[in-house]
Amino acid sequence: MIKAEIDPRDLMELRLDLHRLKPINLLRDDLRDMAYFIEKAVKPYPPVPENSHYIRTGNLYESWYHRANGDLEVEVGNLAIYAGYVQGYEQIAYHAKTGWLRLRETAESMIEGFIEKINRKIDLLWRP
């Protein structure tokens, strides 16, 4: 015969651990931080190429934003109408060649670190 006894204190601790694992509690602040750091990474201008007659206005730089859209969703974007041609899906080859970072690739490379950070948080919560 097998007999199992459960200490009510253990159940309470398990309940608290599960509560801390709710995605909102676990991810909200880290998601906002991630959006901030992605914006910070793509925002700087690369050096102006030699012999370039290009004049920078600072509009692209000032048009970056990040924001939370609910508890578990964040957005990083640029409001300049030409941003997609410089740092987005429609990036012109010249801009890629002169060092402009694309938002998507930058975000994807930074998300790996975010996932590792969340995994460490989960591990700490479940350690005895």
Domain residues for the domain of 75 are 28-44+53-126
Residue 111 lies inside a defined structural domain of this protein: yes
Domain membership of residue 88 (yes or no) is yes
The domain total for the chain is 1
pTM for this structure? 0.76
pLDDT one-digit tens code per residue, 35-79: 999 999 999 999 998 888 888 899 999 999 999 887 778 899 999
pLDDT in tens, 81-96: 999 999 999 999 999 9
Per-residue HEC secondary structure of the chain comes to CCCCCCCHHHHHHHHHHHHHCCHHHHHHHHHHHHHHHHHHHHCCCCCCCCCCCCCCCCHHHHCEEEEECCCCCEEEEECCCCHHHHHCCCCCHHHHHCCCCCHHHHHHHHHHHHHHHHHHHHHHHHCC
